[in-house]
Amino acid sequence: MLSTSKGLATRLSFSTARSRVRINWKTSKRLTSGSLIVVTPANDMFTTCTIPGVVAARPLSLVDQKMPQIDIFFPYDAVIDPLIEYVILEDTTGFFEAQRHNLVALQKMTKEK
């Protein structure tokens, strides 16, 4: 866990082997701050367990390594077992960040009478 100005974040390392190409992280729009992701155990593949999160940070010094690392905000106390392999799915359309304020307002409205 990392303490940031916006709250607690979790640092995840991942593999880019499935992409089969070297990713130029300086120009890539993948996993940018604010991107919505969903994490699931590899043996489950989104059938029963999904853990949503938001990319907190993507420092170039961390993603340019053999095992890239990013910082993730989870909206609740998510349990991530470091001994289990996970799969990350990213929303690449940028929809979430553009609609974040509307979604937060709707969440607040559900708590009011």
- Residue-wise pLDDT tens digits, 82-105: 899 999 998 766 666 677 788 888
Query: Which of 19, 9, 14, 10 lies closest to 85 in space, CA to CA?
Result: 14
**What's the total number of domains in the chain?**
1
What's the chain's Rg over C-alpha atoms?
15
In the block, residue with structure tokens 């919505």: 36
Phi-psi region at 76: left, alpha or beta (left = phi > 0; alpha = psi -120 to 50): beta
- Residue-wise pLDDT tens digits, 24-78: 999 998 998 888 899 999 999 999 999 999 999 999 999 999 899 999 998 777 8
The pLDDT, as a whole number, for residue 27 is 93
Provide the residue range defining the domain that includes 23: 2-111
